[in-house]
Structure 1
C-alpha cells in the first residue's frame, strides 16, 4: 500500500505548483527549481527557426521570440501550475507573472501560436491584426517548420513575398547558425537517433548542416537536451 502511494505522489503526471525566477531556454520552455516546463497550449518557434520580416528579409525569429520572453520576464518570479508531461519529459504548465498569463502573453504579442486542446485563438487574432511579432512578416507555423518541405505553407498577417518559398525552404537556409550564440549542431541518423555536437568536439567540423532539414542549431546544451537530444560521444 505504501509503495503504491509513493508511486502516485512521485508520478510525473501529478499536478504541481512551482514558483521562482526561471531560466528561459526558448519561447516555450523554461526551468524552475531544476524542473523543465513546457508552456501548455502554445507553440513558439524553435531558436533556429528563420522567418521573414516586414521587408521580406530573413531574420532569426526563434531567437527573437526567446529574447522577447526573457525581456518580458525581466528577472521576475513566475508562478506555474503543471499537470502531465510531454514526450521529452518536460512538465506541461500554465505560468503567470504577477497574475498575467504568460502563455497568453506570448500568443497576443505574436511570438507564439495557439496549439493543442487549450485555446488562445482570440489572442492569435489580436496579434495578427496588430502585425505583432511573427505576424509582422511571413513565417512557417512552428509545428510545420520542424518537418518542413517544399509543400510547407507560409503564412503572414499581410501578403507573403513571392520569393518566400526560396528564402524559407532553400537547402542552404541553415548553413550558418541563426545567431552567433547558437553554435551547437544537432543531427539525426538513419535510426532516428538525435545527437548534438558542440564546438571543440572531433565530429563538429565534419557536419554539413545543409544535408537535410532534420539538422538543426541549438543555443545551449540544456536547450538541446530539453527536447530529447543527447551529446555526441566525440
Structure 2
C-alpha cells in the first residue's frame, strides 16, 4: 500500500504539468494549428481546410480555400496573446487545447465565421455553431467544400513526383507558368493534371516545354 501511495504522489506533478495553462503570443501555422508561447497547439474541436485544399465558389470557380482560411485567421490572431487549456496530445505530438483570445473561445468563433468545421469525430462542442454558419452560408459554406478529413482520406491534392517540385500551372487566361519553391505564390498554386498542368524537375525542362517563369 505504501508503495502504491508513493507512486501516486510521484505522478501528481506530471499530471499537474500536463494540465498547466499555456499562454503567450500567437503564431499561426495554419487555421487550426498555432504556436502559442512556443508550444505547438492543435485547436480542440475544429478542423480547417488543408493548405493545399481547393474549394468551389457559388459560381463554380476553384479557389484556394485552405490558404484563404489561414490568411483570415492570421490577420485576426497573429501576435495576439492566447490562453490555452490543454486537453490531450495528438499523434503528431501537438498539444490539443481549448484556446481563448481576449476571453473569446477561438474554436467557437472560427466555426461561427465559417473558417473551420466542427470536428465531430472528437467533439460535439461546436456543432450548433456550424449549423448556423451553414444556414447563413458563412465563409467556407458560401460555396462547395469537402470536409478536411475527407480530403485527407482521399490523399489530398496531386503530389509532386520525387525531386520534381516545380509547378507547371495554367492560368485562367491559358498562359503556361511555372513556379519554383520559395516564390510568392508557390504554396497556393495547385496542380491539376486533368487540365494539362504538370510537375517539372528543373526550370530548364519547364522552359523547353514552353512554360515561362512566374514573375514573383
- Deviation readout 1:49-101 (Å, 9 max, x if unpaired): 11011211111100111111111115321111112100101001011111111
Which residue does the alignment assign to 1:25?
29
Say if 2:38 is the partner of 1:42.
no
Match of 1:140, SS state, is coil
Higher share of residues assigned helix = 2
* Runs of 5+ consecutive residues of structure 2 not aligned to the other structure: 161-166, 170-178, 189-199, 203-216
* Runs of 5+ consecutive residues of structure 1 not aligned to the other structure: 150-167, 184-203, 207-234
TM-score normalised according to structure 1 size: 0.62
1:138 to 127, 135, 144: 144
Which residue does the alignment assign to 2:67?
63
**Number of matched pairs:** 167
Stretches of 4+ aligned residues off by more than 3 angstroms: 1-13, 168-172, 174-177
Q: Which has the larger radius of gyration?
A: 2
TM-score normalised according to structure 2 size: 0.66
User: What pairs with 1:4-153 in structure 2 (closer than 5 Å)?
Assistant: 9-10=13-14, 14-115=18-119, 116-148=122-154
Alpha-carbon deviation of 1:135? 0.4
The answer as to whether partners of 2:52 and 2:157 remain within 8 angstroms in 1 is no
CA distance in 2, matches of 1:36, 1:7: 24
Match of 1:139, SS state, is coil
Match of 1:110, SS state, is coil
Which residue does the alignment assign to 1:182?
187
CA distance in 1, matches of 2:12, 2:87: 13
Alpha-carbon deviation of 1:169? 8.2
RMSD over aligned Cα atoms: 3.3
Match of 2:18, SS state, is coil
CA distance in 1, matches of 2:150, 2:26: 28
